[in-house]
């Protein structure tokens, strides 16, 4: 009877535990889990629809590892403006969260190794960058260092997720490498877009982010890089005029949200659009756009010739 009562007690705690895990990652579902999973599915490309749950869970598990670490660094910040998170909500103690934080490391590595050694390398890189960002204090350092570590972290996220999504979890093809490289560059120059909504909390703990350091001028530090990336990638990929204009207008629209934004809610919405725009750095998504434009031209009786997408790293089987 004692064993049965113990088992029943443990089973009763499972929903509570799962809900706590969800609360740790709640704010990153829309901003990291969905965008990274989508980009990986497009970049690989997804070998089979049944692989999608694998991709989403791999990304979510590593987001959980990062979020538990990050939320144990400055619990006072969450006490002020993010009280639904597990620590300020008193769902567990700081000591329990720290134990869980380090327990997640071997869990992430074991789960990744099940796919391939290369996926394990991506997981190891993610954990190392998490330690650099949180425990070693890169999140409090100069914004250049902070942006760099953030960008490399997302690079590891996308590399691991793309390996899980593809036919061969031991290698990335040319299109996937192009996607990850472009995404990493965009992140490095614009990832501070996530800091606009957290200015009050960041200022309270002395964090020097671009919105705090540059004040009103920071509004233009998102729109200018996005426009430059939009034009630059359009030229690199040899897009036709219609697709290029769409690509540039998307960057302009996202950047404009930061120029006109004033409230936390407006910056939250802007950051969601920013994450939607991240998919445009995947060449396969651009190929789909090109084919769509070509179909529309043919349907409307326009000339059928459409400039091809010039990506030297790709081979015909990639598409």
Cα separation, 169 vs 159, whole angstroms? 10
Surface-to-core class of residue 24, CB atoms within 10 Å of its CB (0-12 exposed, 13-18 middle, 19+ buried): buried
**Which range has the top average pLDDT, 62-66, 289-293, 306-310?**
62-66
Cα separation, 264 vs 247, whole angstroms? 27
Cα separation, 288 vs 290, whole angstroms? 5
**DSSP state for residue 6 in the 8-state scheme:** H
pLDDT of residue 179: 82
pLDDT of residue 2: 62
pLDDT digits (tens, 9 = 90+) for 8-55: 655 668 899 999 999 999 989 988 898 899 888 887 777 788 899 999
Q: Decide: pTM greater than 0.85.
A: no
pLDDT digits (tens, 9 = 90+) for 134-174: 999 888 888 899 999 999 999 999 999 999 998 889 999 88
Q: Is the pLDDT of residue 87 over 60?
A: yes
Cα separation, 22 vs 25, whole angstroms? 5
The region, left, alpha or beta by phi > 0 then psi within -120 to 50, assigned to residue 302 is beta
Cα separation, 69 vs 63, whole angstroms? 10
pLDDT digits (tens, 9 = 90+) for 255-286: 999 999 888 888 888 888 888 777 665 555 55
* Angle ∠(134,87,111) on CA atoms, nearest 5: 60
Q: In the structure encoding, which two tokens stand for residue 255, read together?
A: 């950047």
Domain range 31-172, its CATH number among 1.10.357.10, 1.10.3720.10, 1.10.357.140, 1.10.287.130: 1.10.357.140
pLDDT of residue 5: 62
Neighbour tally for 318: CB within 10 Å: 15
Q: What percent of the chain has pLDDT over 90?
A: 39
Residue ranges per domain, the chain? 31-172
Residue keyed to tokens 């560059």: 185
């Amino acid at each position: 009877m004692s064993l049965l009562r113990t088992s029943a007690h443990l089973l009763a705690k499972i929903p509570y535990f799962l809900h706590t895990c969800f609360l740790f990652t709640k704010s990153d579902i829309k901003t990291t889990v969905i965008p990274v999973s989508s980009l990986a599915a497009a970049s690989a490309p997804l070998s089979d629809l049944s692989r999608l749950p694998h991709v989403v869970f791999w990304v979510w598990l590593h987001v959980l590892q990062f979020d538990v670490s990050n939320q144990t660094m400055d619990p006072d910040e969450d006490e002020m403006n993010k009280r639904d998170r597990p620590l300020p909500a008193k769902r567990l103690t700081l000591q329990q969260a720290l134990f869980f934080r380090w327990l997640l490391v071997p869990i992430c590595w074991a789960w990744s190794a099940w796919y391939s050694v290369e996926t394990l390398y991506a997981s190891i890189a993610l954990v190392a960058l998490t330690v650099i960002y949180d425990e070693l204090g890169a999140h409090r350092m100069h914004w250049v260092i902070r942006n760099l570590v953030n960008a490399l972290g997302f690079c590891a996220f996308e590399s691991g997720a793309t390996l899980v999504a593809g036919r061969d979890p031991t290698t990335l093809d040319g299109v996937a490498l192009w996607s990850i490289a472009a995404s990493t560059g965009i992140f490095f120059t614009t990832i501070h877009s996530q800091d606009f909504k957290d200015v009050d909390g960041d200022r309270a703990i002395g964090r020097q982010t671009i919105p705090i350091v540059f004040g009103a001028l920071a509004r233009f530090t998102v729109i200018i890089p996005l426009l430059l990336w939009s034009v630059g990638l359009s030229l690199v990929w040899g897009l036709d005029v219609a697709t290029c204009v769409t690509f540039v207008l998307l960057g302009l629209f996202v950047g404009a949200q930061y120029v006109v934004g004033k409230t936390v809610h407006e910056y939250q919405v802007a950051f969601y659009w920013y994450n939607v725009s991240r998919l445009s750095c995947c060449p396969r998504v651009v190929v789909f756009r090109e084919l769509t434009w070509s179909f529309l031209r043919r349907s409307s009786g326009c000339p059928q010739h459409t400039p091809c997408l010039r990506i030297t790293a790709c081979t015909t089987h990639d598409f």
